[in-house]
Chains A and B, each alone.
Chain A
Amino acid sequence: MTALALDRVSVSLGGAAILTELTAEVERGEWVTLIGPNGAGKSTALRAVAGLVAYEGRIDVLGDDAARLRRRELARRIALVPQIPVMPSHASVEEYVMLGRTPHLAYLASEGREDERAVERALDRLDLLPFARRHLGSLSGGERQRATLARALAQEASILLLDEPTSALDVGRQQQALEIVDELRAEGELTVLSAMHDLTLAGQYADRLLLMDGGRIVARGGAAEVLTRGLIGEHYGAEVRIVGEPDSGLVVVPVRRPVRS
């Protein structure tokens, strides 16, 4: 079944076309990653799916036209992990993760036992229980990243949007964060749509890649089809070598162009 279907989705901001007639589908349980140079429209595409920017065209979320869903209903289906989350430093991890329960509460209702259990599960899943009372301001970058993931998890939405989920992390934390997402996907039919800069990680974790440039999708397919020297050279303006790793797929290595004398 299709989890997300974008049909000729266009976004313009201040008269400039940011996305032009994007058409794509993400199947339930699939991990699709948007790649492309800066300004390609990856973040805008995610924000359109999350209902945060006005768009033309149609986006279906779990079979329903997103434009017709109430904001709260949309938030029960889609959880967004933004590129740079705003983290109120005075809030405790537990309070912050509890914010993920917002779409499940009636307008003036308070959280109940079920919400507390959902938060506990999310904290446990990301090994954050010992940090529950700690203030966000006292956490390291990796711990904050996990807290944001835990909040998205507590939201119990079946579609997860990740905008550059690893940009602030060292290589070990990057791998950890993506492994956790991959496990969650395997466990619970989670559908993931992410935007990533690191082409090697993108290729290793995603089922399919959508290469964007100038607000359009210019190539799509598995890592082997999209991560080619030609496409990357054309759209990133980068010289790379693609190395095949027998177990984990492709590695994209930037190489320095020979200096002209």
Chain B
Amino acid sequence: MGRPLRNRLALPLGFAFLIVAMLIGALVGPVHIGVGDVLRAIGAHIFGLRSPLHGASDAIVWELRLPRVVLGVIVGGTLAAAGAAYQGVFRNPLADPYLLGAAAGAGLGATLAVAYIPSSAPQRDLLPLAAFAGASVAVVAAYALGSSTGSVSASASLVLAGVTIAAFFTAMQTFVQQQHLDTIQEVYSWLLGRLATAGWREVVIVLPYALLSWVVIILHRRYLDVLAVGDEEAAALGVNVRRVRLLVVAAATIGTAAAVAVSGLIAFVGIIVPHTIRLLVGGSYRLLLPLSIVVGGGFLVLADVLARTIVSPGELPIGVVTAFFGAPFFAVVLRTSRRYG
């Protein structure tokens, strides 16, 4: 039977998009450095050779731009794959990493860390950890609440449980902020998302969780196609629906929490990327999931390039850029979502 040509070309084209996006990310900036120099400098660092660039330029490429690009790839890929995975297990085209309260949980965790940990403490280290903990608690709570209401309409009840948890966590976060007005600026700049402070350290922190998340999600891609026929028919086809859902949700959540922890809240990547891919190559998760990682990575790098050039020399929070494009996109998906039902 074989797959259509379009689908066979999809992944190579996705990788080409990613590489072009990364190149643009490494080239664009207030200091002009030529393509050849950038490539040679990166090659030199990777292979342990002497960089052709001088001190400051070399540091701009290797210490500032590249870690930011790499982190953008990891975070974008993880958010997009998590969005696609949530959409698959909940059979809800509007599901994204924020649906299960992950964002609200991370926000509450970060707010608590900023508000209650004395500023003398190494707060910058604790904030991602607190966000990670908050996101995990929110998703576990949403999952527990959703499954406790029975398995008959598990998808709908889980989504509603996520909304409930998010509302509760957001209320708590607002309350804490009202009590600590002096920290509100810091929390908000974090909540809006940023790759600006990225270094290799953040890359190392997030990479293991991202890889774990990608591997588990991709290994279950076939099951996400089976779940598209509903829990009952999937069970009749021999699938342990609860186990698959639990594993995929856990993997997507670990990835989301790690991404949120290092980059703040960057919304809508999990909606924009998977739906664009669906429009181009169809809805099968076998292709959708790996492509989401690759294209999501490239997409976030380009969004970051926009964030740091639109109001240059200033910088917009990247979450503002993704939301600016994502919200209208979300509205379109909402109007046409029956097509994916």
Q: Which residues of A contact B (CB under 8 A)?
A: 47, 50-52, 71-76, 78-80, 82, 85-92, 94-96, 99-100, 102-103, 105, 108, 110-111, 116, 119-120, 132-133, 135, 137, 155
Contact = CB atoms under 8 A, between A and B. Distances in A.
23 contacts: A51-B235, A51-B236, A52-B232, A52-B235, A52-B236, A71-B238, A71-B240, A73-B238, A85-B229, A86-B230, A87-B229, A88-B229, A90-B278, A90-B283, A91-B225, A91-B228, A91-B282, A92-B282, A96-B229, A100-B237, A102-B237, A105-B222, A135-B282
Given A88-B229, A89-B339, A102 B238 contact: yes
Given A52-B236, A90-B278, A91-B284, A99 B229 contact: yes
A137 B339 contact: yes
Interface of B: 1, 4, 219-220, 222, 225-226, 228-230, 232-233, 235-240, 278, 282-284, 339-341
A116 B233 CA distance: 21
Contact of A82 (B1, B232, B340): B232
Contacts of A96: 229
A110 B340 CA distance: 24
Contacts of A50: 236
Most buried by B among A95, A102, A108: A102
B283 A71 contact: no
Contacts of A71: 235, 238-240
A108 B215 CA distance: 12
Interface of A: prevailing SS: mixed
A95 B232 contact: no
Ordered nearest first, which 6 A-B pairs have the shortest CB separation?
A: A75-B238, A103-B238, A90-B283, A72-B238, A86-B230, A88-B228
B283 A102 contact: no
B233 A86 contact: yes
A155 B225 contact: no
Given A90-B339, A99-B226, A76 B238 contact: yes
Nearest to A133: B4
Contacts of A75: 236-238
B89 to A, nearest CB: 14
B1 A94 contact: yes
Given A52-B236, A75-B236, A116-B1, A108 B229 contact: no
Given A91-B228, A119-B1, 18 more contacts: A50-B236, A52-B235, A52-B236, A74-B238, A75-B236, A75-B237, A86-B230, A88-B229, A92-B282, A94-B1, A95-B284, A96-B229, A99-B225, A102-B226, A102-B237, A102-B239, A116-B1, A133-B4
Contacts of A80: 233, 236
A102 B226 CA distance: 8
A75 B236 CA distance: 6
B233 to A, nearest CB: 6
A55 B238 CA distance: 18
Contacts of B240: 71
